[in-house]
Amino acid sequence: MEKFDAIVVGAGPAGATAAYLLAKAGMQVIVIERGETPGSKNVSGALLFSQVYSEIFPKFWESAPLERAIVGHAITFLGEQTSVNLDYRDLDEGHVPHNAYSVLRARFDPWMAQQAEDAGAMLMPGFTVDKLLQENGRVVGIEAGGDALMADVVVVAEGTRSGLLKEAGLRTDEYHASDVSIGVKDVIALPEDVITNRFQCLNADEGVAYTCVGHTGGVEGGGFLYTNKDTLSVGVVAKIDAVYKSKLQPHAILNEFKAHPFISRLIAGGEIVEYSAQAIHRGGVHLIGQLYGDGYVVVGSAARLLLNNVMTLRGMDVAVASAAAAAKAILAAREMGDYSHTALAGYEQNFKATNVYKDMVTFKDTYPLLENERLFHVYPELAGAVLGDMFTVGAKPSKKGLKALRDDMRGKVSLWQMLMDMNQIGKGLVR
């Protein structure tokens, strides 16, 4: 029977990072990926934040297939016929790496997997791991299509729909429908120069990222629009219980978002070249799953490691950071020749020392915001109405801001309610 030092299940950012670091340290690593190629089975924004990547893959921006450097971030509130846009641009052109890059996962994930292969890991795409093999309560390998493979340690990096641990009876931490969102995304093709001009970029290497609140079919969720080289990634992430309650099909929510005049003019003339949808965990420090046990570690989305702070939804860099923390613990365990849960406990300590984890703690109070319906239905509309009142010179006398706000709030939200919400927003995002 074939035996490896480590088996990595899944060749996404988490799996590829773990495989890369373990192989680089001289371990015999096999990566088993369900898709025909890495990146073919996931749904992702996909916005890559540079910091964590550059720590693991120095100067990755020189060789990785990136789309555009994100030089502008915007938060946009969409009312029925209005948009209020908070647009941030970093106008310093020279510095690399940029804070974030847009990527297409079908191109980027193979590059990451290639780094692992170049370091000596064996990549096996096109095979689905059916179960974890256990001996005396300890994970000792995997089974795929009837073939068994053994290893000292198994890295579970199978992504958001991770089912291996549950099947093995190792997952004790159940989650609820309210912890799950559904992401739907179109990739829309437009000529490179049209994108550059439409989004006011200097050239085809620059791009922007929009996060949108409101106009998502009355369902709590948010929209996003990222610029790639010659495509746009446009999608909606919505609470799955709210989607269920609304009786709307997920693609109908995306269509409504795309039909909003603010979005429709940004995607005008484009051709849909890809559609995808996937259920994702909402993330958050309170929902982190089990990270390790006897003979195994869980990294990335499989351990529900995601960070949503309304402004950004981070999955990839959280995945990479967790995989790096796990790899460090595995290498320490190898020194001791012991892969028990006590030996692998270092993973949790390592992860808790990362900035990614600290960010998760920082934004832990953001999560109640995602439950607040008014944030999605009332305030985007209200913001548009108030600014509309202030900018419009009409038949009626003009009002100052507060008066306009009080008038526009009438019947929608009480002042008390709004102050409470402001406090919640403040707690989640500001202080």
Nearest distance, CB of residue 120 and another protein, angstroms: 12
**From CA 118, how far away is CA 112, in angstroms rounded?**
10
Nearest residue to 17 (alpha-carbon basis) of 275, 257, 354, 254: 354
| Residues across the chain | 431
> What count of other Cβ atoms lies within 10 Å of the Cβ of residue 384?
20
3-state secondary structure of 315: coil
Using CB under 8 A, which residues numbered 144 to 183 contact another protein? Answer: 144-147, 149
Question: Which DSSP symbol is given to 287?
Answer: G
Q: Is 191 in the site for another protein (CB under 8 A)?
A: no
Query: Going residue by residue from 65 to 104, which x/- string records binding to another protein, judged by CB under 8 A?
Result: ----------------------------------------
Nearest distance, CB of residue 345 and another protein, angstroms: 31
Of 187 and 370, CB closest to another protein: 187
Nearest residue to 183 (alpha-carbon basis) of 332, 6, 62, 301: 301
User: Taking contact as CB under 8 A, which single stretch among the options 118-126, 209-217, 257-265, 398-406 is the one that binds another protein?
Assistant: 118-126
For the chain, the first-to-last Cα distance in angstroms comes to: 56
Of 97 and 125, CB closest to another protein: 125
Structure tokens at 134: 């256990």
Q: Is 208 in the site for another protein (CB under 8 A)?
A: no
Structure tokens at 19: 């495989």
Q: Position 187: which residue type?
A: V
Of 63 and 423, CB closest to another protein: 63
Of 146 and 394, CB closest to another protein: 146
Structure tokens at 157: 């990096």
Count of residues engaged in binding another protein, rule: CB under 8 A: 13
Q: Position 382: which residue type?
A: L
Using CB under 8 A, which residues numbered 121 to 140 contact another protein? Answer: 122, 124-127
**From CA 209, how far away is CA 228, in angstroms rounded?**
10
Q: Is 252 in the site for another protein (CB under 8 A)?
A: no
Nearest distance, CB of residue 147 and another protein, angstroms: 4
3-state helix, strand, coil split of the chain in percent (to 5) is 40, 25, 35
Nearest distance, CB of residue 158 and another protein, angstroms: 15
Using CB under 8 A, which residues numbered 14 to 53 contact another protein? Answer: 30, 32
What residues line the site for another protein (CB under 8 A)? Answer: 2, 30, 32, 122, 124-127, 144-147, 149
